[in-house]
Amino acid sequence: MSERRESSCKFFQSTSSGRRCVFLSPEEWRLRKDKLIPYCSNGGGGCPLLARYVAMASRLASERRGRRGALF
């Protein structure tokens, strides 16, 4: 029988300021960690910070692809 192991979000890392989401400053993490820890412990699933990061990365990738085809 295999047991299910929770996976942490890859952006929930040990830093010199302790374990925190690397998207936030240590000060911001202290203010928001109680609401964000469940997302961090769930591999990032449903995390509003991770969703914002993915949307921004996707938008930037689309813009870069669009520029490659443009003539300058």
Q: What is the pLDDT of residues 39-64, one digit of tens each?
A: 999 999 999 999 999 999 999 999 88
> Domain count of the chain?
1
Strand ranges inside 1-72, DSSP E? 12-15, 18-21
Residue 19: φ, ψ to 5°: -80, 125
Q: Residue 1 domain-assigned?
A: no
Nearest to 20 by CA among 33, 8, 39: 33
Q: Residue 38 domain-assigned?
A: yes
Query: Looking at residue 31, what is its pLDDT?
Result: 98
Q: Residue 71 domain-assigned?
A: no
Q: Has residue 67 got a pLDDT over 90?
A: no
Q: Residue 60 domain-assigned?
A: yes
Q: Residue 43 domain-assigned?
A: yes
pLDDT band at 69 (very low <50, low <70, confident <90, very high): low
Query: Looking at residue 66, what is its pLDDT?
Result: 81
- Domain range for 39: 12-66
